[in-house]
Amino acid sequence: MKILNKKNTEKKPYLKKKILVFVVIIAVIITVYAIFWGHALYRPFEDFKGPVYIPKGYNLTDNLTTDNERIFEYSGNGTFWVGLIKDPNKKELNETLNPFADDSQNINETNEIITVNGHNVTFKVHEMSIDMQEITSDIPILSKYTMPTIKMAKFQAKWYCEETNLTYVAIGFVTSDQLEEMKKMIESIQCHPEKSLFNLNLGI
């Protein structure tokens, strides 16, 4: 009896090891299957939903979808637009892709390189001071009040994503103190799925 009990005791760890290996194999198969179908079904143009991070106080207020572009508008204490474009060479997109064309010379221009989903992207900013006193001087109800000078900023980030063959753009007009939040918003844009060992090896 003692000998039989010893044999049974020796079998239990081996059985547990086999079960553990089996569970790990099943988990790997399920994960690979999920990744494969996730990438196979992913449609970069149709499935794009805008930035992951939305600055506090902003809400989606409008969107434009055509065969060539998808643009989302967000409004709050300012307005910004985020979108993607199949063919950026169409004339009607000039204002979207070149928002600084009509700016006066009285601006402070800065360019900063930020990282968006693995891409090095230029965050271009035009800052300007707006004299509210001058603007409201012809409005009787407001002319008697002392109005402040407000620092505003127009920004743009634009890049081409090789993985999806699409051009992504973010532009906006906000107060200067919101620029850091706008950068965080742009940096949250997922223009393509995160790379993994699986999709690198299979070329997905």
pLDDT band, very low/low/confident/very high, at 134 (cuts 50, 70, 90): low
pTM, entire model: 0.71
Sheet holding 78-85, edge to edge: 59-65, 69-76, 78-85, 166-175, 149-161, 119-131, 108-116
In terms of DSSP H, where are the helices of 61-165?
94-97, 132-136, 140-143
Whether the pLDDT of residue 117 is over 70: the answer is yes
Whether the pLDDT of residue 123 is over 60: the answer is yes
Q: What is the CATH number of domain 59-187?
A: 3.40.1000
pLDDT of residue 66: 92
Which amino acid is present at 90? K
CA–CA distance, 48 with 103 (Å, rounded to integer): 31
- For the stretch 7-60, pLDDT in tens is 555 555 666 666 666 666 665 655 544 444 444 466 889 999 999 999 999 999
For the chain, the structural domain boundaries read: 2-41, 59-187
pLDDT of residue 76: 96
**Residue pair 139/67 in contact by the 8 Å Cβ criterion:** no
Share of the chain above pLDDT 90, in %: 48
